[in-house]
Amino acid sequence: MKEGIGNIFQNETKYFREPYSPGDLERQNKIEQLKEKVVDKLISLPQPDRENGQPLWKVINKRRSIREFVKKPVSLQALSQILWAAQGVSLKAGEFYLQTTPSAGALYPIETYISVQAVEGLSPGIYHFLPKTQALRMKYEGNFSQVLADAALNQDFLAEASFVLLWTAVFERTKWKYGERGFRYVYLDAGHIAQNAALAAVSLGLASCPVAAFFDDEINSLLGINPGKETIIYLEAVGWKK
């Protein structure tokens, strides 16, 4: 079967390190060593506040991309609030769970992972957000902050953030209905989600910075996902402004 233009575009726009680049084997070994502690633990999150918060216009006006963080813990409540704003369930209609951000056909092709680096009540590690139950599933325990920063073209501020949101795309969720045009819709979904997360961070007195420059294959390996079915498309660092 002929490969679709969307898949070609996605693959042709990846960043790759030079073959046999310095430290390549060491980087991969470090990732694998960190991932040796596999965890499958479900953690319920505090219920999000749907009524209070700063006025919307004030929050929009204050949003900036911040690249300097003080590495100190944020509360579990704050993490839960940001995750709900980004991709939480705002309405259950029959069998449908409608989320806080728009999605073409309500197909929700974006998955949210979190590199927890300094969150009260959570061990550092890689987590997967489950919107329907407002919960986290811990995948790997350990501090992945520097490995993540290295995989994002050595943007060290990612290692200083309290946590980093990692958004992956499952393109087939949208492509089955919209074909190759579905790629456009998936990218739009990610933008809606990232903006909601950024505004929620401001409302809580936190700072954020979205990141689109990274080595795709290294992040996919870090998350332990199959890039033939799911791939990283966006990151966002969140923490206390320096």
User: Would you say the pTM of this structure is higher than 0.75?
Assistant: yes
Residue 180: predicted pLDDT: 95
Burial of 84 per CB tally in 10 Å (0-12, 13-18, 19+): buried
Q: Is residue 180 part of a domain?
A: yes
* Helices 216-223 and 24-34: angle between axes, nearest 10 degrees: 20
Helices (H) and strands (E) in the chain, counts: 9, 10
Kindly state the average pLDDT of the residues 86-100.
92
Q: What is the pLDDT of residue 94?
A: 84
Give the pLDDT score at 1.
56
pLDDT category of residue 73 using cuts at 50, 70 and 90: very high
Decide if 4 is inside a domain.
Answer: no
Instruction: Specify if 80 maps to a domain.
Output: yes
The answer to whether residue 23 sits within a structural domain is: no
> pLDDT class for 74, splitting at 50, 70, 90?
very high
Q: Please check the confidence at residue 29 and state whether its pLDDT lies above 90.
A: no
For residue 24, the model assigns a pLDDT of 72
Residue at 10: amino acid letter: Q
CA distances from 101 to 35, 61, 91, 186, 194 (A): 32, 20, 11, 12, 10
Q: Which domain does 214 fall in, by range?
A: 45-241
Give pLDDT tens digits for 124-144: 999 999 999 999 999 999 999
* Tens digits of residue pLDDT in 206-233: 999 999 999 999 999 999 999 999 999 9
CATH number for the domain spanning 116: value is 3.40.109.10
On whether residue 2 sits in a domain, the answer given is no
CA distance 88 to 153: 30
Does residue 16 sit within a domain?
Answer: no
* d(C-alpha 20, C-alpha 69), whole Å: 32
Residue 21 in domain: no
Domain count, the chain: 1
> Is residue 187 in a domain?
yes
The CA-atom distances, in angstroms, between 138 and each of 41, 113, 124 are 5, 10, 10
